């Protein structure tokens, strides 16, 4: 293969990578972006594995796409919450202002261990269950 042909293929590949990243920023999905460019997903994963610069650009593009999607979903959730969805409104408020709308009782925390002894029949075998470590041991009494 001639050097000129390799250069052309390399330029085409770089152009495909840029187009893929553009499509990813819009769609947010690797499969959809690959399908739009008529490339195999395996090609994308090969680029990801072999090209550090592409990997960094992919991560940035994916993050941007995720943020855009989250913003769109949040706008839609607010519309639905305003349409009288009290449960959705509660989750939105907890997410947007966790300091103000968090649970007043953060939950019960139990420390220590619990041991349960069970006797089986007349042979006085005892089965011990340690809940703190989730370990079972059998002993004779």
Please give the average per-residue pLDDT across 49-62, as a whole number. Answer: 94
pTM summary value: 0.56
Let me know whether 74 and 125 are in one domain.
no
pLDDT on residue 9: 81
Angstrom distance (rounded) from CA 47 to CA 33: 14
Cα maximum dimension of the chain = 90
Angstrom distance (rounded) from CA 2 to CA 63: 39
User: Is residue 91 in some structural domain?
Assistant: yes
Let me know whether 117 and 80 are in one domain.
no
State yes or no: pLDDT of 117 exceeds 80: no
State yes or no: pLDDT of 10 exceeds 90: no
Average pLDDT over the chain reads 79
Q: Report the domain count for the chain.
A: 2
Distances (CA, A) of 107 to 44, 93, 101: 45, 20, 15
Range of the domain at 52: 3-101
Angstrom distance (rounded) from CA 39 to CA 21: 13
Lowest mean per-residue pLDDT among 28-32, 40-44, 46-50, 101-105:
101-105
Let me know whether 24 and 93 are in one domain.
yes
Let me know whether 13 and 80 are in one domain.
yes
State yes or no: pLDDT of 80 exceeds 50: yes
Torsion of CA 101, 105, 111, 117, to 10 degrees: -130
User: Is residue 106 in some structural domain?
Assistant: no
User: Is residue 72 in some structural domain?
Assistant: yes
């Amino acid at each position: 293969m001639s050097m000129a042909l390799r250069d052309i293929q390399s330029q085409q590949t770089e152009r495909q990578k840029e187009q893929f990243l553009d499509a990813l920023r819009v769609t947010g999905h690797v499969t959809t972006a690959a399908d739009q460019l008529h490339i195999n997903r395996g090609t994308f994963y090969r680029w990801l594995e072999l090209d550090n610069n592409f990997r960094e650009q992919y991560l940035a593009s994916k993050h941007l796409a995720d943020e855009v999607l989250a913003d769109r979903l949040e706008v839609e959730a607010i519309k639905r919450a305003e349409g009288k969805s009290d449960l959705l409104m509660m989750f939105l408020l907890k997410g947007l202002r966790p300091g103000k709308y968090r649970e007043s009782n953060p939950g019960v925390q139990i420390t220590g261990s619990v041991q349960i002894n069970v006797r089986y029949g007349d042979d006085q075998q005892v089965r011990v269950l340690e809940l703190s470590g989730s370990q079972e041991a059998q002993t004779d009494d």
